[in-house]
Amino acid sequence: MLRIFLKIIVGSIYALNPVIGVFAQNSFSQPLFEYNAINHPVMGKSGMVASHNELSSEIAAEILASGGNAIDAGAALGFALAVTLPRAGNIGGGGFMLVHVAKLDKTIAIDFRETAPASANRDMFFDADGNVVLDETYRFSHKSSAVPGSVAGLAHIVQKYGTMSLAEVLEPAIRLARDGITVTYDLAADLARTQRLKNNPASLRKFYKPDGSNYEVGELFKQPDLAWTLSEIAEHGVAAFYSGSVAKKIVADMEAHNGLITMDDLVDYRVIEREPVQSTYRGYTIEAMPAPSSGGTHVIQMLNILENFPLAKMGSESSDALHVMAEAMKFSYADRSKYLGDPDFVEVPTKTLVSKEYAKDLAKRISMERALPSDEVAPGNLAIYESDETTHYSVADEEGNMVGNTYTLMFSFGSGVVIEGTGILMNNNMGNFTLRSDIPDAFGLMGSENNLISPNRRPVSSMSPVLVSRDGAPLLMTGSPGGSKIISANMQMVLNVLEFGMNIADAAVAPRIHHQWRPEVLEIESGISPDTVSRLIDKGHNINFSQRSAGMGSLQTVMWKDGIFYGYSDPRRPGAGAVGVD
């Protein structure tokens, strides 16, 4: 394997030559160190990668160092994570990407979310008496899988905006699957605790030894069936997955196990390019994913509400700042429950949800002395304004391209179903649809008729990469896994950098809070002062200490500032790593 010298520099000064492209405009010859910071990001002069798996980050950095752009590297990283991070990295799921294309001076939202099969219907998980049946079929069967979009999405960005061939970006993932990866502590623990994988014969063969025992740390883990699938895509293109040799195996396995996905479903799958939802915060431009992702809309809605308060004066972890943030979350998640859906099926009032006027009126309802009970917070009347398992990675290059990709199987290891002969671990994203308006989804989120199961519909998601720009130049790309907590984690990262002046490392490490309207609980991470917690309780916040979280989300962030690339992988998940390119 070609080894390219990649420096990972944390806390040491080195000379830099000015970078080229759009990022050359304000380059300096030395990094600006913050000796008053506690945590420090990785730095590089030619590019940056941050993902949940350091080996995969290194592969993407090698693509950059060998002449590929951030789009090539982002696709290579997506395929590699299917090998190295099987609980979340995938080719059997789907997601959302933000791609800033420097030569077009444009940010594009790539929707490669899964779609409901044509035979799916809103009653498919109810019995004859109209009672929901939340058995193994709903979460952990072939029937729980929607039509995957990851292969189409990753191939789309390479073919339209990359500089390399699809086969070239697939090569590292093929090699890793064929030759094997060394089992890490993280992977060994994942497989040992996910015993439901043994319920499916193909999953059992893929993830465990021939005698059914667990892989041990340091052992070699090979995935020959997955290597075959990736090789078929490299040789025959995306058609191999959606109409060719791989598709035939998917359909045969679905037919044998009462699954819904047919050849027509695969052939009909399409990637959709959408306009990002956009707003500003304190003079910075914020771009994020539009519907059917709820993440971008409600990150912006919360930021718009919070822009009406002097948060910097309050202090980043003060009870007043956290109180206001929690109240903003309640309003946003309440609106999410009613208005979000697939915009190809329902009208989503995005313009109103992200309007400054609507946010200002919501801000007026926030009292600094009293937390509003959830019963007093309902989805807003918009008419008057009309005039946790997912993974994320971020990549930036010296031309000014940035890629942020959040994709998922939904639960850790998805449905637990591996398609016979392919090594493909399938999603269980049918569970992201709303079964009924009074039944929360897998993450406790309420929904509406806008998100009921319907053929070819894309389920609402919280996934959303977020891009921050200044004066037309991309500055920061971030994103996180975490189910319903994706939205609140992304919002707090943006606040920590833009409002509280933290570097991206301190911003990622800072303790987070989460409130999603229903249930009426303010979740807090360890690290928030007991005195602050007491003041929040005094304001009326319902803090359930049994639900005190050790980690909300896992932000993967890249940033370009003053001629230097910065990257940081949130320490909340083991095995993550940022890699800089020099």
- The residues, any chain, with a CB within 8 Å of residue 125's CB and separated by 6 or more, are 132, 133, 134, 137, 138, 430, 435, 453
Both tokens of residue 76?
């290579």
- For residues 415 and 197, give the distance between their C-alpha atoms in angstroms, rounded to a whole number: 9
3-state secondary structure 178-219: HHCEECCHHHHHHHHHCHHHHHCHHHHHHHCCCCCCCCCCCC
- The residues, any chain, with a CB within 8 Å of residue 347's CB and separated by 6 or more, are none
The active-site residue, picked from 107, 229, 390, 422, is 390
Is residue 71 within 8 A of residue 87, CB to CB? The reply is: no
Burial of 392 (0-12, 13-18, 19+ CB in 10 A): buried
Angle, CA of 126, 481 and 149, to the nearest 5°: 65
- Burial pattern 148-164, b for ≥16 Cβ within 10 A else e, equals bbbbbbbbbbbeebbeb
Please compute, for residue 146, the number of CA atoms within 13 A of its CA located in the half-sphere on the CB side. Answer: 29
User: What stretches of 437-515 adopt beta strand conformation (E)?
Assistant: 466-470, 473-478, 513-514
Both tokens of residue 48?
């940056």
Q: How far from each other are the two terminal CA atoms of the chain, in whole angstroms?
A: 19
Is residue 97 within 8 A of residue 403, CB to CB? The reply is: yes
Helices (H) and strands (E) counted in the chain, each on its own, are 19, 18
Nearest to 247 by CA among 264, 234, 259: 264
Backbone phi, psi, residue 141, to 5°:
-145, 175
Burial of 127 (0-12, 13-18, 19+ CB in 10 A): exposed
> Tell me, what DSSP letter sits at residue 254?
H
Both tokens of residue 182?
């060394």
Helix (H) or strand (E) holding 402: strand 402-408
Q: At what angle do helices 224-236 and 245-256 cross, to 10 degrees?
A: 130
Check if 391 is active-site.
no
β-strand partners of 476: 468, 559
CB neighbours of residue 105 within 10 Å: 12
| Residues classed as catalytic | 390
